[in-house]
Amino acid sequence: TLSGRVAVVTGSTSGIGLGIANAFAAAGAEVVINGLGDPEAIEQTRSRLAEDHGVAVTYDGANLIDPVGAAMLVENTIATFGRIDILVNNAGIQHVSPIEDFPVEKWDAILALNLSAAFHTTRTAFASMKAAGWGRIINVASAHGLVASPFKSAYVAAKHGVVGLTKTVALEGARHGVTCNAICPGYVWTPLVENQIEDTAKARGISRQEVIENVLLAAQPSRKFATVEELGALAVFLSSNAGQSITGIALPVDGGWVAQ
């Protein structure tokens, strides 16, 4: 479905981004992966994706907290492949803390990565997509782009911002074959979720197991974590030609969380 397409997936050395990069490569796209981590492990991931699916996969280690890094990721992709067809803004971080103790530098970092980086990659990619008359921008927002939970002020604010950015970009791309949509996962079992269990336990004064049962899974009527494979399949569909009329939406993938 995606052969001949060039896709950039931010934050794809782990978790949801890796699931999406894998699904894109399986669908025949050439993929630029991005993210932080151990260089050897990243190179293994890159070469496995390329070999498993017989497509070109490159790695760009741009730090997207830096606006210049975010723009360069897109510019380098266009320089290498001559185009950018699909942009997935997925890189994100979390911090859990009551607002009165919320570290200011965490607020700044979360807004920079979870919201502003999507602006910088999108503004840099947009002219190229418009000129081609075809483009797909997918923002991995969150159920927290639609509803809130306590102790996640920066994350919830940034993700609501991403949903607003998504709608605006959709309107600007509508006449040019460029769609922009937000995917809003509920809880997906990834390192990002694993790492917040401890702080959530502390903030709420409960145990780790109680966090999993009574906070995470309690939010989802399905009582199941969503999977990175499900999110990969959805990103492939939105990126296909069948997705051309779907734009400006914020689609929950959350086992019923925001329906409540």
Footprint on this chain of ligand NAD (rule: CB under 6 A): 11-17, 34-37, 63-65, 90-93, 113-114, 140, 142, 185, 187-188, 190-193
CB nearer ligand NAD, residue 43 or residue 174: 43
C-alpha closest to that of 192 among 159, 239, 162: 159
The one-letter amino acid code at 50 reads A
- With both helix axes pointing from N to C terminus, report the angle between 228-239 and 15-26 in degrees, rounded to the nearest 10: 50
Coil, strand or helix at 184: strand
> Minimal distance in Å, beta carbon 75 to ligand NAD?
16
DSSP 215: I
> Minimal distance in Å, beta carbon 35 to ligand NAD?
3
Annotated active-site residue in 155, 187, 225, 257: 155
Where are the strands (E) in 210-258, listed by range?
250-253
CB nearer ligand NAD, residue 69 or residue 177: 69
> Minimal distance in Å, beta carbon 137 to ligand NAD?
14
DSSP 176: G
Longest alpha-carbon distance in the chain: 54
> Minimal distance in Å, beta carbon 187 to ligand NAD?
4
C-alpha closest to that of 94 among 177, 226, 199: 199
CB nearer ligand NAD, residue 135 or residue 185: 185
Coil, strand or helix at 108: helix
Is 155 marked active-site? yes
CB nearer ligand NAD, residue 37 or residue 133: 37
Supply the residues annotated as catalytic.
Answer: 155
